[in-house]
Amino acid sequence: MKLSDLHLQAKSLPELPGVYQFYDSEKIIYIGKAKNLKKRVSSYFTKNHDSKKTRLLVKSIRKIEKIIVDTEMDALLLENNLIKKYQPKYNILLKDDKSYPWICIVKEPVPDIFYTRKIEKRRGEYYGPFTNVYSARFLIKLIKDVYPFLNHELNHLIKKETEETIKLKFSINIKSIRNLIKGHFKKSIDELKKKMKVLSVNLQYEKAQEIKEKLDILYNYQAKSTIVNSKISDIDVFALISDESYAYINYLQISYGAVIRSFTLEVKKKMEETDYEILRLSIIELKQRFQSQSKEVIVPFRINMPRPIKISVPKTGDKKKLIELSERNAKFYRMDKLKQIKIVDPESHENRIMEQAKKDLQLKLKPVQIECFDNSNLMGSNPVASCVVFKNGKASKKDYRHYKIKDIDGPDDFASMEQVIYRRLKRLIDEGQSLPNLIVVDGGKGQLSSGLKSIKKLNLENKVAIIGIAKRLEEIFKPNDPLPLYIDKKSETLKLIQQLRNEAHRFAINFHRDQRSKDALKSGIDNIDGVGPVLKDKLLNKYKSFARLKKVKELDLINFLGKKRGRSIFNQLRN
């Protein structure tokens, strides 16, 4: 892959935390973490690097892969796991066997709590991992402060607790201790707040400050990681994202409680091929390709697989989080592909969106030119409307139009919509301009039927399609169909329609406000003595609204209108 192609690939990455992997022609040569994948990876191809090692690395890169995660902490932990497994050539740090600390709770012979870097499941319960020893130590100290019977060093000195009392108190409080380690701090926080308040009332400010520092750390504390969980071991996770032409299947391989591989497979769909069939065949293909011996497979929906493979469809918990993580990676893989097509071949990108909109909205033609209409008035005053135009999915602002509604008394949105669509289409016909393939009206069945009347008056039923979009549930209404059309909330078609609707609303509202301001200015100026038509136009053009005119300083009016006239108008405005 050329450097320019790699740069393009980097530009299409999401601005999210994750781990990136650089490959040469054969294997992984570098693994890194990033808070913002797009910025971090792009920096390799846009900066002049002082380090010889970095320059050699960039020259060796032939492919980029990524794994999206939820937090920067998850990225750090995943980077550590992957570096240990693959030992990339250019990674100097984190190559040793040093692992992150875990907190262990031991029940027998005497209950105890401590941190360790080695997991021996028979020994006790393990929680973590933690990004540094300080976090683990602080949490252990905090737990021992809240539950002093676990502080064996102190017990040994003051001989306060016996083995029997420790075991008894431990069994009573074990649930709270587990919650504290997991990050469920509410009960402990409430207790600390009470202590801090008592200490403050008793003027013991230094001790109160110590508790406040503990509270601050607790509030910002993040104890649990999606990436590593000692209870989940040797499983395969698969998720699928699908569109009209392709399916994207992400595979996460979990070994010894950690993600050790992420791979996304792109599958071109055949006629009438279901997601069920695609996922089932992809699981078989990917397990063979990566020689996975795992007996458990986690998937988003139930599928039948040959024995002895166990299929799980988790609804909650850490396994469900792994499915969500896999789905995010599949989703962003697809988005990266589409971004690259948009940059390299914008025409193909536009054509794909138009084809998708045609299918989703059940249209006869691709909606290459879409026009959206919206009304705006205040209790019937200053009624106006807007028309915004999108061509090939992009705003064509030179074709936007404002309309003042004529001869309609009171707030009548239906009559206003009928009038403005008729005027717009009649003008296009008279001037021989291209008609829209699709008209979108902001509203439900009422506005839709009003717009349809205008189309019928002009005999354009077979040339111009029309739909309405209702705000509450984003329902799409079509003529002669009593039931709304529901489009996937994440689809590009709905996003396009929403963008049109929002743009038309903004354009109408701004025009309506301008009209109200001008009317207020006109009515205000009409009450000022000595202002004729010429001076009235001059003030209208200069100050735009009566509110602005009233705020003008006397000196500014004198400079603009002369001493006598400026002072006269200023005094009248002031009084």
Task: Give the CATH number of the domain where residue 53 resides.
Answer: 3.40.1440.10
Q: Are residues 484 and 564 in the same domain?
A: no
Q: Are residues 268 and 179 in the same domain?
A: no
Task: Give the CATH number of the domain where residue 316 resides.
Answer: 3.30.420
Please write down the HEC assignment for all residues of 361-396: CCCCCCCCEEEEEEEEEECCEEEEEEEEEEECCEEC
In a domain, 199, yes or no: no
pLDDT (tens place) for every residue of the chain, 575 residues total: 555 678 778 888 888 899 999 998 888 999 988 889 999 999 888 878 877 888 888 889 988 999 988 877 778 778 877 887 888 888 765 444 556 788 898 888 888 888 888 878 788 888 877 766 767 787 788 788 777 788 777 666 566 777 788 888 888 878 878 877 776 667 777 877 888 999 988 888 888 888 887 777 666 654 455 556 667 778 999 999 987 778 999 999 887 667 888 899 998 887 777 889 899 989 988 988 888 888 899 999 999 887 788 899 999 888 898 999 999 999 999 888 887 777 766 777 778 888 888 988 888 889 999 999 988 765 545 678 889 999 988 889 999 998 888 877 666 778 888 999 999 999 999 999 999 999 999 888 888 999 999 999 999 988 999 999 887 678 888 988 888 888 877 788 888 999 898 888 888 888 767 766 665 555 566 667 767 777 777 776 777 666 677 778 888 888 888 888 878 888 877 77
Query: Angle 205-219/186-201 helices, nearest 10 degrees?
Result: 160
Q: What is the extent of the structural domain holding 11?
A: 3-86
Among residues 131, 119, 125, 70, the alpha carbon closest in space to that of 256 is found at 119
**CA-to-CA distance for 271 and 294, rounded, in angstroms?**
32
In a domain, 520, yes or no: no
Q: Is the pTM of this model over 0.85?
A: no
In a domain, 470, yes or no: yes
Domain boundary among 341, 371, 403: 341
Q: Are residues 13 and 124 in the same domain?
A: no
Residue type, 506: R
Q: How many domains does the chain fold into? A: 5
Q: Are residues 505 and 364 in the same domain?
A: yes
Coil, helix or strand for 303?
A: coil
CB atoms within 10 A of CB 564: 10
Q: How far, rounded to the nearest angstrom, does the alpha carbon of residue 304 sit from its chain's CA centroid?
A: 33
In a domain, 387, yes or no: yes
Q: Are residues 435 and 567 in the same domain?
A: no
Domain boundary among 514, 539, 555: 514
Q: Are residues 32 and 129 in the same domain?
A: no
Facing residues of 26 across strands?
A: none
Task: Give the CATH number of the domain where residue 433 resides.
Answer: 3.30.420.340
Domain boundary among 57, 86, 115: 86
